Amino acid sequence: MMTSTVRTEPRAFTAFYDLWQAARIDGALPLRKDLRLDKFAAYAPNLVIIERTSPGFFTERLVGGAVEDRFGPIESDVNILDYHVPDTRKKILVWLNTLFDHPCGSIGDFSVSYEDGVHRACQAISLPILGTHGQRMLFSFHKVLHIIAVETKPVRARIGGYYSIGQMMDIGFGLPESGSEFVIKPKPENMSIPTS
């Protein structure tokens, strides 16, 4: 069963988690080639697969159409750290390395700014899978929630301008020694909290 203390129980992610869980054999991480993407069709526009290609460098191997609509074309040779605001990158690096080094799931709770000046609350569930050569990858589904701010000037699409918080989930291998909650940038106290 999936549980997380980020906001409320993330009901929107339960079905995604259950599909990922169904692809596991004897509790092992599912292989990317064994994930039946037709089963994930409802999530396809907002799917992302991330791979760590070298220390500190993470690329997106699959990007759903809705993600590209929001961010623009995402090239496979761009480090995804570049999509995070500069003051969060060191902690995001620690977060991503933890997810790749210790097989666990996560729920991310973060703000995203878009080029039209709109800032939205977002959430993502990330679950580990194995690539062709046995390398760990993150299989993620992103959910865009309500508007939290609007700026009159265009901004570059970035993650974490207002806040960025993560919650690790035990998927059968325990949690990292660092614990389950990972606050990259705390949420401002006066900010409203979406419930789904």
> Residue 180: what pLDDT?
82
Q: Residue type for 12, please?
A: A
Environment class of 75 (CB within 10 Å of its CB; exposed 0-12, middle 13-18, buried 19+)? exposed
User: What is the C-alpha separation between 10 and 172, in angstroms, rounded?
Assistant: 19
Examine residue 180 and state whether it is found in any structural domain, yes or no: yes
SS3 145: strand
Examine residue 1 and state whether it is found in any structural domain, yes or no: no
Examine residue 142 and state whether it is found in any structural domain, yes or no: yes
Q: What is the pLDDT of residues 75-106, one digit of tens each?
A: 888 899 999 999 999 999 999 999 999 999 99
Q: Examine the pLDDT at 65 and tell me if it is beyond 80.
A: yes
Mean residue pLDDT of the chain comes to 87
Q: What is the pLDDT of residues 5-31, one digit of tens each?
A: 444 445 679 999 999 999 999 989 999
Q: Residue type for 58, please?
A: F
> Residue 179: what pLDDT?
76
Q: Domain range holding 111?
A: 11-185
Examine residue 192 and state whether it is found in any structural domain, yes or no: no
Examine residue 109 and state whether it is found in any structural domain, yes or no: yes
Say which range, 22-36, 48-62, 69-83, has the weakest mean pLDDT: 69-83
User: What is the C-alpha separation between 140 and 107, in angstroms, rounded?
Assistant: 9
Phi, psi of 77 (to 5 degrees): -95, 10
Q: What CATH code is carried by the domain that includes residue 108?
A: 3.30.450.20
Say which range, 63-67, 69-73, 115-119, has the weakest mean pLDDT: 69-73
Examine residue 195 and state whether it is found in any structural domain, yes or no: no
Examine residue 164 and state whether it is found in any structural domain, yes or no: yes
Task: Find which of 49-58, 175-184, 186-195 is predicted with most confidence, using mean pLDDT.
Answer: 49-58
Q: What is the pLDDT of residues 96-155, one digit of tens each?
A: 999 999 999 999 999 999 888 889 999 999 999 999 999 999 999 999 998 998 887 767
Examine residue 57 and state whether it is found in any structural domain, yes or no: yes
> Which of 4, 3, 7 minimizes the C-alpha distance to 145?
7
The count of structural domains within the chain is 1
> Residue 195: what pLDDT?
44
> Residue 37: what pLDDT?
82
> Which of 123, 108, 121 minimizes the C-alpha distance to 166?
108
> Residue 192: what pLDDT?
59
> Residue 135: what pLDDT?
94
Q: Examine the pLDDT at 3 and tell me if it is beyond 80.
A: no
